[in-house]
C-alpha cells in the first residue's frame, strides 16, 4: 500500500512539473508575440487555487492533476472586443501561431537538457556493463558472450554503463541483427558479435532489454554473513543475529547465499537446520520459514538480509562532468532520446514493433516511484526521459495534439489560407479517436503486466 502511494505521489509530482514546463512554453512565447492569455491552469476540473497577475491572466491549479492548458484570447472560441482583436491568437501570423504551438514541446526538450545537465554535474557511480551470467541457450550464449565480459559498444554506440546498454539496444527492436562489442576482462581481447534477433520476441515487458535477451549484470556476491534480521520474522524467532555466519544448511557444508534462499523458499512452515558461527563459536539453530504468496506460489520467507561484498573500484565508472561539458552531454543525450523516440514510433506505425511495447500511466507511475527510491540523480534521469517522450508525442501529426495544429498551419503557410473549420473538426475527431485507442492499449498493457 505504501509503495502504491509512493508511486502515485512521485507520478503526480513528475507529471505536474512536466505539464507546467510544457504549458509555460506556450504561455511564454504567446506573451512575447502579443497574445492575451486568459488562464494558465495545471490540472483539470474544479479550480482549487487561483490568482491573477497584472496582465489579467489567471494562474490556477485544478483538482485533477492529469494535465493542464493555456487558454488564450481567440475569436474562434468566444467573441473578442474590437480593441483586443490584435491580441487574439487567431489574428496572429501563421509563423507566430506555429512558434506558440511548437513552444510547448520545445520547452520539454529544453527541460530535458537542463535535467540531464544537472544530473551529469552531480554525477553518480555506476556499475560498468560487466556480464554476471548468460542464460543457457540464449542468443548471447550462442554468440559467445560469457560471464566476465564487459560490453563496450552496442550498434556502434559506446556503453559506459548498463543504462547506456539498454538505450543502445532499444532501436534494435524490430530489426534482424544487433552488433555488440565486448572486452574480455582477463585477456583484454576485444570481440565483435552479431546477434541474430529477427526470430526473438523483443517486446519490452521488462524495462531492461538486455535481461529479456538473457544477460544478467554482474553484482558483488552476497555472503552468508547476516547483515540484518527483521523484527518479528522467522529468522528472529530462530535466534539468528546480525554478524552470524551460516556455515551449514541442513546437510550442506559452507552453503552459498543462493543455496540458503532456495532452501528457505522451498520450505514454508518446515524446519531448516542451520549451523552458524558467532563470536568464534558454533551454534545450531532451527529456522521455520514463514509461508507467503509470491507470484501465485506459496514460498518460505525468513526475514534476513546478507552482507553484500563491496564493489571493486575497477568495476565502477563515475559518470560526472564539469558545468560546461555537462551542457554538451545533456544536449547530446536529449538528441539521442528524441531520435530514439521517433525511431520507435516509426517502427510502431510500420508494425515492426508490437503495440505491446506501449506503456501507460501505471507503468510510468511505477517508474517514477522506483527512480525516486534510487535518489535524486535517478529521478532527474526519469524526468528527462518522460519530458522528451511528452515533447515527441505532442509533435505527432494528430489534430488534437500540437503536431496536428502545426500540420494545419503548414498547409495554411503553403496555400495562403487556413484549412476549413469542417476539415479541422473532422481531423480533431479522428485525432481524439486514435489517441483514445493508443491510451486504451497502453492501459491494457499496464494491467496485463501487473497480472
Question: Which residues have a catalytic role annotated?
Answer: 23
Residue with cell 544537472: 118
Distance between CA atoms of residues 161 and 165, nearest Å: 7
Distance between CA atoms of residues 22 and 49, nearest Å: 20
In this structure, are residues 37 and 71 in contact, taking their beta carbons and an 8 Å threshold?
yes
Number of other CB atoms surrounding residue 99 within 10 Å? 17
Distance between CA atoms of residues 371 and 361, nearest Å: 15
Amino acid at each position: 500500500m505504501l509503495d502504491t502511494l509512493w508511486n502515485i505521489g512521485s507520478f503526480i509530482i513528475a507529471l505536474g512539473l512536466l505539464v507546467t514546463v510544457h504549458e509555460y512554453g506556450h504561455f511564454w512565447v504567446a506573451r512575447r508575440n502579443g497574445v492575451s492569455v486568459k488562464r494558465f491552469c495545471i490540472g483539470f476540473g474544479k479550480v482549487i487555487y487561483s490568482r491573477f497577475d497584472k496582465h489579467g491572466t489567471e494562474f490556477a491549479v485544478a483538482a485533477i492533476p492529469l494535465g493542464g492548458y493555456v487558454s488564450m484570447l481567440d475569436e474562434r472560441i468566444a467573441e473578442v472586443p474590437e480593441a483586443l482583436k490584435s491580441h487574439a491568437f487567431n489574428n496572429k501570423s501563421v509563423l507566430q501561431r506555429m512558434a506558440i504551438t511548437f513552444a510547448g514541446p520545445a520547452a520539454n526538450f529544453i527541460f530535458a537538457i537542463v535535467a540531464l545537465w544537472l544530473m551529469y554535474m552531480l554525477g553518480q557511480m555506476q556499475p560498468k556493463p560487466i556480464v554476471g551470467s548468460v542464460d543457457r541457450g540464449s542468443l548471447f550464449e550462442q554468440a559467445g558472450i560469457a560471464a566476465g565480459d564487459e560490453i563496450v559498444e552496442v550498434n556502434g554506440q559506446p556503453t559506459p554503463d548498463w543504462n547506456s546498454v539498454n538505450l543502445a539496444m532499444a532501436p534494435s527492436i524490430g530489426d534482424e541483427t544487433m552488433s555488440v562489442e565486448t572486452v574480455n576482462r582477463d585477456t583484454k581481447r576485444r570481440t565483435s558479435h552479431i546477434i541474430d534477433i529477427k526470430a526473438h520476441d523483443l517486446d519490452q515487458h521488462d524495462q531492461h532489454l538486455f535481461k529479456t535477451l538473457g544477460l544478467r549484470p554482474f553484482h558483488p556476491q552476497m555472503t552468508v554473513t547476516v547483515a540484518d534480521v527483521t523484527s518479528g520474522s522467522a529468522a528472529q524467532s530462530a535466534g539468528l543475529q546480525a554478524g552470524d555466519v551460516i556455515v551449514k544448511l541442513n546437510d550442506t557444508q559452507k552453503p552459498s547465499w543462493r543455496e540458503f534462499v532456495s532452501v528457505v523458499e522451498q520450505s514454508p512452515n518446515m524446519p531448516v537446520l542451520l549451523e552458524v558461527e558467532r563470536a568464534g563459536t558454533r551454534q545450531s539453530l532451527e529456522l521455520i520459514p514463514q509461508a507467503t504468496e509470491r507470484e501465485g506460489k506459496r514460498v518460505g520467507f525468513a526475514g534476513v538480509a546478507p552482507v553484500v561484498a563491496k564493489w571493486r573500484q575497477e568495476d565502477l565508472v563515475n559518470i560526472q562532468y564539469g558545468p560546461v561539458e555537462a551542457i554538451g552531454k545533456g544536449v547530446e543525450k536529449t538528441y539521442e532520446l528524441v531520435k530514439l523516440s521517433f525511431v520507435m514510433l516509426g517502427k510502431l506505425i510500420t508494425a515492426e514493433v508490437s503495440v505491446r511495447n506501449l506503456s501507460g500511466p501505471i507503468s510510468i507511475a511505477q517508474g517514477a516511484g522506483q527512480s525516486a527510491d534510487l535518489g535524486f540523480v535517478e529521478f532527474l534521469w526519469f524526468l528527462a526521459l518522460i519530458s522528451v517522450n511528452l515533447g515527441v508525442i505532442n509533435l505527432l501529426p494528430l489534430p488534437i495534439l500540437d503536431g496536428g495544429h502545426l500540420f494545419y498551419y503548414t498547409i495554411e503557410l503553403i496555400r495562403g489560407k487556413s484549412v476549413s473549420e469542417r476539415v479541422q473538426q473532422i481531423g480533431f475527431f479522428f485525432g481524439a479517436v486514435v489517441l483514445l485507442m493508443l491510451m486504451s492499449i497502453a492501459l491494457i498493457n499496464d494491467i496485463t503486466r501487473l497480472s
